[in-house]
């Protein structure tokens, strides 16, 4: 969607002050909608586990975001330093430009990794929800089997009691 493309473009800004924070991204209507859907679907998952998992993922993502912001700021500072240097020889300039290019590529790679981690997190949450639903279904089936077994045991006990009563009556008649 346009909104998603715009969010991705804003995340790829080199200037960290222009990049949205994770909280800003979660304020986008589409993200809120997806979060609400995830919350509704996660009702089968214990809330404490989801909260703990989500907060740990958020801390990891925020740490990555801070690291990327720091690296981007370092790149901007180095670029300013390169442009401000008046007496550098051409070899040193080339070396610094190559270094800057490598760092820029590393930054882009880390941004892709962050994006992949985010989608991986969402996929893991969906898998976790599916597993939780399967576990709940198995637990319900076991509870049903337990109830059925309990009913059968009661019928067997009742039949034993009736058998004993009949045997006692038969013994009395024979005596």
139 pLDDT exceeds 70?
Answer: yes
- Residue at 109 is within a domain: yes
Give the whole-angstrom CA distance, residue 86 versus residue 79.
13
- Residue at 171 is within a domain: no
The pLDDT, as a whole number, for residue 47 is 65
- Residue at 126 is within a domain: yes
DSSP 8-class letter at 34: H
Domain span holding position 39: 2-141
- Residue at 107 is within a domain: yes
- Residue at 175 is within a domain: no
The phi-psi region of residue 62 (left if phi > 0; otherwise alpha if psi is between -120 and 50; otherwise beta) is alpha
Query: pTM of the full predicted structure?
Result: 0.32
Higher pLDDT pick, 103 / 16: 103
Tally of domains within the chain = 1
Higher pLDDT pick, 16 / 75: 75
Instruction: Summarize pLDDT for 43-81 with one digit per residue, the tens.
Output: 655 667 767 888 888 898 899 989 998 999 999 888 888
The pLDDT, as a whole number, for residue 42 is 62
- Residue at 151 is within a domain: no
- Residue at 51 is within a domain: yes
As a whole number, the mean pLDDT across the chain is: 85
The CA-atom distances, in angstroms, between 136 and each of 43, 51, 63, 129 are 12, 19, 35, 11
Assign 38 a pLDDT band (cuts: 50, 70, 90). confident
Contact criterion met (CB below 8 Å) for 114 and 79 = no
Instruction: Summarize pLDDT for 104-122 with one digit per residue, the tens.
Output: 999 999 999 998 888 888 8
The pLDDT, as a whole number, for residue 162 is 94
């Amino acid at each position: 969607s346009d909104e998603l493309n715009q969010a991705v473009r804003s995340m790829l800004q080199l200037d960290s002050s222009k990049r949205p924070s994770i909280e800003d991204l979660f304020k986008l209507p589409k993200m809120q909608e997806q979060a609400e859907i995830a919350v509704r679907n996660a009702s089968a998952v214990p809330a404490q586990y989801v909260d703990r998992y989500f907060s740990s993922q958020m801390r990891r993502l925020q740490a990555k975001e801070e690291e990327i912001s720091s690296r981007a700021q370092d790149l901007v500072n180095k670029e300013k330093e390169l442009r401000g240097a008046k007496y550098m020889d051409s070899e040193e300039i080339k070396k610094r430009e190559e270094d800057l290019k490598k760092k820029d590529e590393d930054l882009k790679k880390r941004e892709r990794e962050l994006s992949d981690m985010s989608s991986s997190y969402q996929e893991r949450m969906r898998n976790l929800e599916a597993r939780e639903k399967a576990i709940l279904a198995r637990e319900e089936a076991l509870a049903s089997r337990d109830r059925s077994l309990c009913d059968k045991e009661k019928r067997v006990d009742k039949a034993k009691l009736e058998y004993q009563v009949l045997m006692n009556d038969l013994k009395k008649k024979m005596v």
